Amino acid sequence: MKWKKLVTLGCIVVMTVSSVTACGSNTTENQTVEATEQSEENQSDSVIVQVTAVEGDQITADVGTLTTASADASGNGAPGGEAPGGDDSGNGAPGGDAPSGEAPGGDNSGNGAPGEAPSGDAPGGDAPSGEAPGGDDSGNGAPGEAPSGDAPGGQMPGGSSFEASGESITFTLTDDTAITLEYLQGSDEGTADDIAVGSVLEVVLDEDNQAVSVTVRNLNAGGGFGGSGEVTNGTSANTITEDTEVDSETYTSTGDDENALRVDGATVTLKDITIEKTAGSSSNTEDGDFYGLNAGLLVLNGATATITGATVNTSVTNGNGVFSYGEGTVVNISDSTIRTTENNSGGIQTTGGGTMNATNLDVETQGNSAAAIRSDRGGGTVNVDGGSYVTNGTGSPAIYCTADISVSDATLTANASEGVVVEGKNSVALTDCEVTGNMSNTYNGDSDENIHCIMIYQSMSGDADVGEATFSAEGGSITAKTGDMFYITNTDCEITLKDVAFTLANDVFLRVEGNSSSRGWGTEGANGGDVTLTADSQEFAGNILVDEISSLALTMKNGTSYEGAINPDGDGGTVDVTLDDDSTWTLTGDSYITSFDGDTSNITANGYHLYVNGEQVL
């Protein structure tokens, strides 16, 4: 869900004008207009190309232009939420949190976001348009050809494609060539290793045909939504379009890009049904992640589906079990069993502003990037009450959140991934849940990545709106079998904890720090975290580490007891601690903070020292 997609913005600007027909129409008429007013100097020195061969410092590429489409005014393009944008932190996430998908793990989309592992190339041939799913770790996936004809459901805003002119050039990289990687928001310095076959570049050449500068463009930089650049739901073996009640029916599918059952715009009650999606490849994993292509059961276009006693089995890529897509769509599912076995196949999936209400479900997934409770681009609302949610794949947390997700009285177990991942301006609220995370190793062998149980971050892949993330837990337990308990990077967040039983795997309770930006999570040196943590009637232990580009405001109140050290090595960012009269802090090492509001008599030094703004106070 999060491959970095490369596009060109450039010398020749191509604009798409959309005309809208009647309300609710899916017809979008695109007209292409070239802005040809450019200086002769720009035409000769700056060029948009797509790389066809790399031989040492020699780059051969097709010359072309960028075509950009916009959604029609009826909203048939963007799946709910705000258009990608970003706050000043650079955490640009598109439209309603668009995507990932699951993050870690190659961010579910494969874009390097944590949460879900990348799925790799999508089986079944070329992607319908835009980039073919896949791409190397740098995000330089080769774009596929755009399909002809009208885009179903309207084109996504900002969706772009490279159009070759029929000319090609060869140029040389030198030690003085300035190479820049463009992300959804912001950019970073790159190297020659970031230029691969399929990369789309904006190149400035000198008179000797040497590259003065190269910008590796990002497909979504202009505000696109990724995938095929269109709302692409695929087809369905069985479709219900009229209000009805169904009892004890079986729905099957073996077709490519095909749902076993689709509920389209109707109010439907489904009792004791069976869904079997046993075959059929997905042509584009991001379209499967975003729009429900190849899912077992897809509910869309404002439909309401009430499901009880269902059995849902899928064994295909993008075989999400039950999928709610789009504003106004509601899925109410209870007392049902969901099993998925392949990559990018969540248990319950919500995107594009849909709603999912789940009660007493038994969900288990086996594949990578296959969260049991999963959301992606466009977000939505998910309410879960009771049940068991188990994942076994890499990059498959029990919850991957790009939505507003509330879970109560449930068991959430990730056997090879984080327990919970929150991306961007979204929220997870847990009440009396049992959470277990077991992130077994770093994704793609990246030694710069962190091991943790709960991750809160912004991938900048375009899957989540920019803003403050929220995580709260009251009652229940959270167990980390490996790594840190909490890891926050490249985002702002608020964490509230009350009466939760924590079991740590190491000595770190909370790590707030920047990252190498190798996966596109912001710009190195400016992608830390800003955290507000409130511990209310909470016992917890473990060190708190806040690096120099991050901050923490920690409040302990109502009988909270903390045993640990804060930045014991002395280096770090701003840390403000408030300790009320009913709470205590026992030091397990020297601690360095910026400010302290409270009575130091409530701190047990335990042979260590507390430094406030460089001054020893204990």
CA distances from 274 to 14, 85, 248, 271, 279 (A): 48, 41, 7, 9, 16
Structure-token pair, residue 324? 């709610």
Q: Which of 45-59, 99-113, 219-233, 403-417 has the lowest mean pLDDT?
A: 99-113
Per-residue pLDDT reduced to its tens digit, 10-57: 333 333 333 322 333 333 333 333 333 333 333 346 899 988 999 999
Mean predicted confidence (pLDDT) in 521-542: 95
Q: Do residues 288 and 110 make contact, with C-beta atoms less than 8 angstroms apart?
A: no
Q: What is the mean pLDDT of the chain?
A: 79
pTM of the model: 0.69
Per-residue pLDDT reduced to its tens digit, 347-403: 999 999 999 999 999 999 999 999 999 999 999 999 999 999 999 999 999 999 999
**pLDDT band, very low/low/confident/very high, at 187 (cuts 50, 70, 90):** low
Q: Residue 286 is inside which H or E element, if any?
A: helix 285-291
Q: Do residues 325 and 305 make contact, with C-beta atoms less than 8 angstroms apart?
A: no
pLDDT score for 45: 65
CA distances from 266 to 260, 269, 273 (A): 17, 10, 17
Structure letter (DSSP) for residue 441: S
Structure letter (DSSP) for residue 82: P
- Going by C-alpha positions, the residue among 139, 209, 141 that lies closest to residue 174 is 209
> Exposed (0-12), middle (13-18) or buried (19+): which is 142, by Cβ within 10 Å?
buried
CA distances from 140 to 1, 110, 176, 497 (A): 14, 12, 22, 40
Residue 108 has pLDDT above 90, yes or no: no
Residue 275 has pLDDT above 90, yes or no: yes
Q: What is the CA radius of gyration of the chain?
A: 25
- Going by C-alpha positions, the residue among 85, 81, 5 that lies closest to residue 466 is 85
Per-residue pLDDT reduced to its tens digit, 314-360: 999 999 999 999 999 999 999 999 999 999 999 999 999 999 999 99
Instruction: Give 400's strand partners.
Output: 374, 421
Other C-beta atoms closer than 10 Å to the C-beta of 292 total 32
Cα(459)–Cα(489) distance, rounded to whole angstroms? Answer: 9
Q: Give me the residue label for tokens 């869309």.
A: 300
> Exposed (0-12), middle (13-18) or buried (19+): which is 415, by Cβ within 10 Å?
middle
